[in-house]
Structures are given as structure tokens and as C-alpha cells.
Chain A
Amino acid sequence: MEQPSPVSQIKLHHDLKAIWDTPPGWGFLSAVNHTVLGRRFIIAAFTFFAIGGVLAMLIRAQLATPRSAFVGPDVYNQIFTMHGSVMMFLYAIPMFEGFAIYLLPKMLGARDLAFPRLTAYGFWCYIFGGSILIGAMLLGVAPDSGWFMYTPLSSSTYTPGINADIWLLGITFVEISALSAAVEITVSILKLRAPGMSIDRLPIMAWYLLVTALMMLFGFPPLILGSILLELERAFDLPFFDPTRGGDSLLWQHLFWLFGHPEVYIIFLPAAGAISMMIPTFARHPLVGYRAIIAAIIAVGFLSFGLWVHHMFAVGIPHLALAFFSAASGLVAIPTGLQIFAWIATLAKGRPRFDVPMLYLAGFFVIFVIGGLTGVMLAMVPFNLQAHDTHFVVAHLHYVLVGGFVFPMLAGAYYWLPHITGKVSDHKLAVPAFWLIFIGFNMTFFLMHLTGLLGMPRRIDTYPAEAKWEWLNLLSSVGSFVMTIGFALFVLDIILQVRFGKAFRRNPWQARSLEWATPTPPPSYAFASLPHVESPADWLEPGSLGNDLAAGRGYLGFTRNGWQETLGVGMTDGAPDQVVVLPRSTTLPFWTGLATGTIVLCLLFKLYWLALLPFAVTITLLLCWTRTTGAQSDLGPLPIGRGQTALVHWEAGQPPSWWAMVFVLAADATLFGSLLFGCVFLAMIAPGWPPAVIVLPSYGVMALAAILMIAAALFGRLALRDLNRNRAPTAWLGSAALAHLGACAALVWIIAVDVVDPTQHAHQATLFALLGYAVLHAGVGCILALYGLQRQRSGKLSPIRNLDLRIGKLWHDYAAVAGLVALVAVIVLCWSAGGRP
């Protein structure tokens, strides 16, 4: 196939800009570009950080003196709950997402992430969800049960208003954004890289982000499930957490901390990735121990899931189990320590030069190591029981999170801001800002170790003067104001750099990674042509490489059909195997996010039937996303430059969307696994079992539901087989849709006739949840089968263009397996409760 003729550098720039740029004016709502959305995520996250910071100041003002009447206990409860929630859910995770969205494609040598509209949808979900939380706070109805929302305090008996609902619905809404980002990051790292960037040449940041994104896929579903169950309890009185009706408050703690502890590492690992990119630059030496660090990241990723009960040492769990969690908690320090030693070794082996980012990294080393050491102290059960729920824990978590995330992010801000703005700072404010933050931070939080050891509990709004915590608290509050002045200086410095900074040549730090091969500030298309990577991607020559790429002397150094193109590669060998055509600017993600937000608001105000309307709108809008994808004829191999060809992604074997469905189903299976765990936990551990009324399920209807679910999966496979044989799959797709619909009806019948009243006891409630899960999946399966029919009618399917049916097959298969497991679980739960036929 003939390769496109080369064009001039200027013409290529203008051609690419015309395709990739976001429209001006109201067109800002249609942005799907990673550079634009990455910047927006970062700005929004910093805004929420400022809000969380103001709340922290209010907390410190309240605690500065004993018997303070600054704010009352009700307002104080809202303040500390919102401080934790904002910092964790609206600052830390979105900040990392924004950082990854902006930098990752450039580090990988791609023009964008795999699913730009999903990036935009995630952004709008984040903004709308965050706005709901902040709006509630301004109206005085913010969540007030602590950022971990322990039941029964957060149950409707003790928190009757909408405060807790705002947290449960608002945070779940934001979690959609996080899961979208996790899928996007995972698939992008595995599939969207520059040709030649084999798995052993990945920049270390990509390994960190890959493990982090996978942790999010497996860590967030338990929290989402917990939030759904608690909202079902609050809204419809299903007693999952009510011990008087077979529920158990501890189930919430398990589900929350199954997410909550990995969350700490989800926050730390991206920051560690940033450190691993910055230190080699300033050490002028490649990172020492690349392979060992990857093994350490994998170890941290797994071990962090085995620590969750160290937040629950005091709740009465068998001692041997405490030993498991205590050992794992201590163990995780080893791979974390390995990374720290690798960074020190890199500095020791190189010729380090000191600059502002290194100053902030020095702060990180000091603070994070102290946080890590107190973490090992708290991992030991006897000490933990002494320090439990005291300010010692508050001090520890701030040393870990501020040391492990905020300081590296500040370093990263100074390091990558020249990339974002194309300007450099004279750094006159960066140094005093650092010292104010560093001194203020230690003054605030080191003293909390002491107040904690003196017995000061967390979350108290006031304390008596006789407690002897007075001067320590006062100094702590003074320190927090010093730290705030430091952050204000940092913000001022950033504003000055953006507004008045000197324009600078590319790559002011002489970094060796690929993101510095783009022009600065980067154009919307990132690279005018894509590089061929022949050595480790974080030890390249970005200067000369950047000039070659700008001149179009790489892959895809041309435009075609007005398409936004980048390349997909083999996961391990990095050989180009597909041209990925990305969607152009559209407002659909904005409207879909708005419709999703309307569902949340309807649920919040208990307008449950009305919520069905925005739900239908959301589904319709999501289906509208597919109108511009695919083609009505087979294209075959397309030229990609450098004398090579590749198939367009919808004709390729395993394109990004296929992998996305695999990872979505992995997250879905984790949620289902958590639900099964919850059901078994309640049946075995919770008080009030066996229930007074035991459900006797209709085995005939269950068998019918099982047959229909299996049939739907089979019909989905037969539709694909017929399509591959160039026969119309219409009949099989129609049958699959009907089978799913029939399965839905049978399952709903079981809920209505057998379960009857899920509010009576957790036994019925768990059966309701399991069957509801199966109904939901059969329902989505029906929509996907109908979507396949629509694609067939619009001529977008062929034996080569069969991607839609292959994605559908994954769902139909999963729905059948999960549905069958749910039915078996229902039978086992009924039998174990004494309901044998």
C-alpha cells in the first residue's frame, strides 16, 4: 500500500490542529483532549484542595484552645467529615488522575488516551459529584458521620437527614470518574504506546500507573457496593447493617477498608512514580534497580489489600486473624523501603544537582519516612490498641498522605509546570514556600503524636483545660496557619509563573523522558508524528527526537479522513498492530454526565420513579456515543508511515475497547465477589440468625431463569459465529435480547413472589441484592443485544468488523456466569438458613 507523501512541518501542524483542537467559546464543553482535560482535572483538584484546606483551618481554629465555642459540635462534625472526604475523594485521586491524563500519553508516545470521551465523562462526573458535596456543605447539610461513614452512626436511625445520602450518592458518583480513569489508564498503558516501546522499555511511571489503575479496578468496587447497600438501607430500609434484623455494622467496616487501605497506596504509588521520574533527571543517572522496583510495586499492590483490618484491630476479631493483618502491615514497609533505597542509590551513583523540585523531594523523604515508621508502630496490635482513635493516628495518616502525596505533587508541579505552560519561574517564592510548608506541617502534625500519646481522642470538638493538651494544640494550630501561608505562597508563585514566567526552550531540566519531546506548551495532538522507541523510554534524547517528530519523520506524520489517529501496539513487544481512530470533540460526555448527575439528584431527593427518566436519557446518550464509531465498509491495512501498515482498530483482533470491557468486567466481578462475601459474612457472623421467616425459592422459576441466561450467552456466540460466516446474525441477536428479557422477568418474579419483603431481615435483603444484581446484568445484556441489531441494520458489521458482537459476547458470557453463581448463592443461603425443600 502506498504511503502518504510527506508534507511541510508547518502544514502538518495546521492540518493536525484543525482535527485535534477543541472548539473555542462554548466549545469548551466539548473538550475530549487529554491535555485540556488533564489541566482541568489538576486545576479542579487544586481548587478542592483549597476548600479542604480552609476546612482544616476551621478544625485547627476550633481545637486551638480548650472549651472553644468557635463552631458547635454539629457544624464541627460536618467540617471534619468534609475535610477528609474532600481531600481523599475530590483532591488526591482526581489530582493523580489529572496528572496521569495529562502526562501519560506523552510519556508513552501516543497522541491521546484510549477513550477520550470517557475522560471527559469522568471529568464531568467528578465536577458534578464534587459540586453536590460542596453545595450541600454551603447549605449546612453536609455529611457529618466521618469520612468513613461508620454504621450505625450513618444509618437513618442516627443520621436521619440527607447528610449521609449526600456522601453515599455524591462519592459514588465521583467513583464513576475514578473507575473510568482506571480503565482508561490500564488500557492506554497496555495498548497505546509508541512503536518499539516494548514492555521492558516502559517509562517507570507507566508501571506505577498501571499497578495503581489495576488497584483501583479491584479496590473501588467494595466501597461502591458498600455505598449502594447503605443507601438501600437508608432509602428502603433493607437491613444490611442493622444488627436487630440480621445485619452487621462490621460489614460496612470491612467493605469500606477493603477499599480504604489500598486507597492509601493508590494515592502514594503515582507520587512514587513521579519521584522515580524526577530523581534520575536531577541525579543525571538512570534509575537504579528498574526491575526490582517493578517487583516492589507489584508486591505493594497486592500486600496493600491484606492490611485492611489494621483499621479494625479494636473491633473484636480473632487474635490469629489480627496476627495475619499485623504481619502484612509490617511487611508492606519492605517493598516501600526498597523504592526509597533505589532512589537514594540513584542519587548516590549519579552527579546530583539541586533545584526546587529536589527541595520538595527532600521534604518528602523526611516526612514520608517518619509516617512510614509510625505506620509500622501502628501495625503492631498492642501499640495500636493503645493509640487507637487518638490524635497519634491523625498525625500518622497526615505524615503518610502529605509526605507521600502532597510533597511529591508540589515537586511535580514545579517540575512539569514548564511543560504545561512553556514558561519557567525564577523560583524566588518556591523556596520560602517550601520552608513555610515544611516547618508548618511538622509543627502541626508532629505535636499530634504527643497529644495522641497523652490520650487526646480524634473527632472531638472541644476538650477540657485540665486535659493538659492545651499548649500542644495551640502550637499545632499556629503551625497549621504557617503551613497555609506556605501554600498561599506556592499558589502565588504558580500564578506568577503562568502569567509572567519567561518563555524557555524545551526541556529546562534536561530530562530524558518522552514527554519532553513534545513542544511546550504541548499542542492538542501532542506529537506531529509518533516516535519509534529503541531504548528505555525514560532515557532518550528528547531534544533531537522532538525535532524529528515535529518534522513528521515518525509514524502517522500525516492526516487522513479528518481522523484523530494514534497507534495501538502489542502489549509486550510494542510492535504496531492497529491504527486507533479516536473520537473528536463532542458535547455528548457533558450531557451524559449531566443526565447521570440528575439521576443522583433524583435519588437524593427520594424521587425514585422520576429517576427512571434521567436513567433512560443516560442510556440513550451513551448509545449515541457509538454513532460515529466504526465504518460501513472494510478498509483493510492502512499505511502508518515508515513503510508499514496496520488495520484500523475496529478491524483488529483485540482493540482497546475489547480490553476495556475485560477490565470493566474484572471490576464488576470484584463487586460481585464483595457482595458474595457480604452475604456469607452476614449469614455466618451477624447476630439474629437464622431468620424467623426463611425464603423457600421457586426452583422451577430459578431453573427457567438459569436456562434463559445460558441461552442468551449461547445466542450471543451463535450471532458472532454467523457473522463470521458472512450470514446475518439478526435472528440470534433478537433471540439473545428476548432470552435476557425472559431471564429478567423470571428473576423479578422470584423477588416479588419468594423474597416478598426484603426489609424484614438481612436474609431477604441479601437475596434481593443477589437477584437484583442478576436482573441488572440481564437487562444490560438485552440492551447490548439490541445494540448489536442496530449495528447490523446500519451496515457496520461484517466478518472483519465484528468487534461490537465480540464485546457483546464478553458481557453475555459474564452475565450468564454471574447470574448462575447468584442463583446458586441464593439456594445455598436459603438452605443454610434452614430453608431446605
Chain B
Amino acid sequence: MQQSASNKRLLALAAGFVIWSIAFVVLYSALSIGCRQGWNDVHLVAGMSLQRVQLVGLYALHLACGLGLVIALRMTPAKKEIAAFLHAIAFYAAIAAVFSTAFTFAGVLLLSPC
């Protein structure tokens, strides 16, 4: 049982960047589909296009997931030596992944989408 819990912590090492990877695939796909479907020409509220709204929404969602992971890791510290080791690396990687998500996709806030 302990070994199984540790194996899960091993998987947690990648959790932050898995969220970043999903954000990449989702945002790149949404961008391509939106440009293809002409969503940039569909205007919604406050002068924002449907394309911008969906991209910003997805960006915010993935940032929230990443931040959620960081908070969850922060609130569940591990005490035993090996678990603490894996936990620390998972925490560092999750912080790096949130920063990467914020930086990589920040263009959705300002740049012309298509």
C-alpha cells in the first residue's frame, strides 16, 4: 500500500507539466478551429470576439488548474523521507509549470488571434 502511494507521488512529478501540455494542445487546437470557423469575426461583449473569449476562458481555466495543483501540493506536505523528496520536486515542477502556462499562452490576452 505504501509503495502504491509512493508510486502515485512519482506520477505527481509530471502533474504540473501535464496540465501545461493539455493547455498547449487545447489552446492550439481551439485557436486553429476558431480561425478556421471564423470565430474571430463573431463579436460578443465589450468588443471581444468569440475567438478571444474562448481562448481567454481556456487560458484562465488551465491557469486555475495549475494553481489548484500548487495549492493542493502546498497543503498536503509529506513527512516520510522518500515521499517528502518526491513531494518537493513535484511542488517545484508545479510552480514552474504554472509560470510556463502563464508565460507561454499570455498572447491570448493581447495579440490578434488569426
Contact = CB atoms under 8 A, between A and B. Distances in A.
Interface of A: 198-200, 291-292, 294-296, 298-299, 301-303, 305-306, 318-321, 323-324, 327-328, 331, 335, 570-573, 575, 684-685
A571 B17 contact: no
A324 B85 contact: no
Interface string B71-97: 000000000011001101100110011
Nearest to A572: B6
Contact of A295 (B92, B108, B111, B114): B92
Given A306-B21, A327-B106, 6 more contacts: A199-B82, A199-B85, A299-B17, A302-B21, A328-B100, A685-B32
A198 B20 CA distance: 28
A305 B23 CA distance: 13
Interface string B23-59: 0100110011101100000000000000000010000
B62 interface: no
A302 B24 CA distance: 11
Which 9 A/B pairs are nearest by Cβ-Cβ distance? Answer: A323-B107, A572-B6, A302-B17, A200-B85, A295-B92, A327-B104, A295-B93, A570-B3, A320-B113
Given A298-B93, A570-B3, A324 B24 contact: yes
Nearest to A571: B7
Contacts of B14: 298, 302
Contacts of B111: 319-320, 323
26 contacts: A198-B81, A198-B82, A199-B6, A291-B92, A294-B13, A295-B93, A299-B17, A299-B93, A301-B17, A306-B20, A306-B24, A320-B55, A320-B108, A320-B111, A321-B32, A323-B107, A324-B24, A324-B28, A324-B105, A327-B103, A327-B105, A328-B24, A335-B96, A571-B10, A572-B9, A684-B32
Contacts of A324: 24, 27-28, 104-105, 107
Given A291-B85, A292-B92, A298 B17 contact: yes
Contact of B96 (A295, A306, A570, A685): A295
A294 B89 contact: yes
A324 B28 CA distance: 8
Interface residues of B, number: 42
A199 B31 CA distance: 40
Nearest to A317: B32
Contacts of A298: 13-14, 17, 89, 93
Nearest to B95: A295
A75 B98 CA distance: 50
A347 to B, nearest CB: 23
Nearest to B100: A331
A328 B93 CA distance: 16
A302 B36 contact: no
Contact of B82 (A200, A295, A303, A321): A200
Contacts of B21: 302, 305-306
Given A291-B92, A295-B93, A306-B21, A318 B32 contact: yes
Interface of A, secondary structure class, is: helix
A837 to B, nearest CB: 25
A302 B89 CA distance: 15
Contacts of B3: 570-573, 575
Given A295-B92, A295-B93, A684-B32, A199 B103 contact: no
A299 B105 CA distance: 16
A681 to B, nearest CB: 9
A318 B93 CA distance: 30
Nearest to B17: A302
Contact of B103 (A295, A331, A572, A573): A331
Contacts of A575: 3
Nearest to A296: B96
B19 to A, nearest CB: 10
Contacts of B33: 684
B17 A318 contact: no
A409 B89 CA distance: 28
B37 to A, nearest CB: 9
B88 A291 contact: yes
> Counting chain B CB atoms within 10 Å of each CB, which of A318, A323, A335 scores highest?
A318
Contacts of B7: 571-572
Contacts of A302: 14, 17-18, 20-21, 97
Contacts of B96: 295-296, 299, 335
A323 B103 CA distance: 10
A570 B4 CA distance: 9
A291 B88 CA distance: 8
Contacts of B32: 318, 321, 684-685
Given A303-B100, A306-B21, A324-B105, A573 B82 contact: yes
A323 B113 CA distance: 10
A195 to B, nearest CB: 14
A108 to B, nearest CB: 16
A331 B18 CA distance: 16
Given A200-B82, A295-B89, A324-B27, A318 B35 contact: yes
A746 to B, nearest CB: 31
Nearest to A298: B93
Contacts of B86: 199-200, 572
Contacts of A303: 17, 100
Nearest to B105: A324
A199 B3 CA distance: 12
A318 B18 CA distance: 24
B46 to A, nearest CB: 19
Contact of B89 (A291, A301, A305, A331): A291
Contacts of B85: 199-200, 291
> Counting chain A CB atoms within 10 Å of each CB, which of B10, B33, B82, B113 scores highest?
B82
Given A306-B24, A320-B108, A572 B10 contact: yes
A573 B28 CA distance: 39
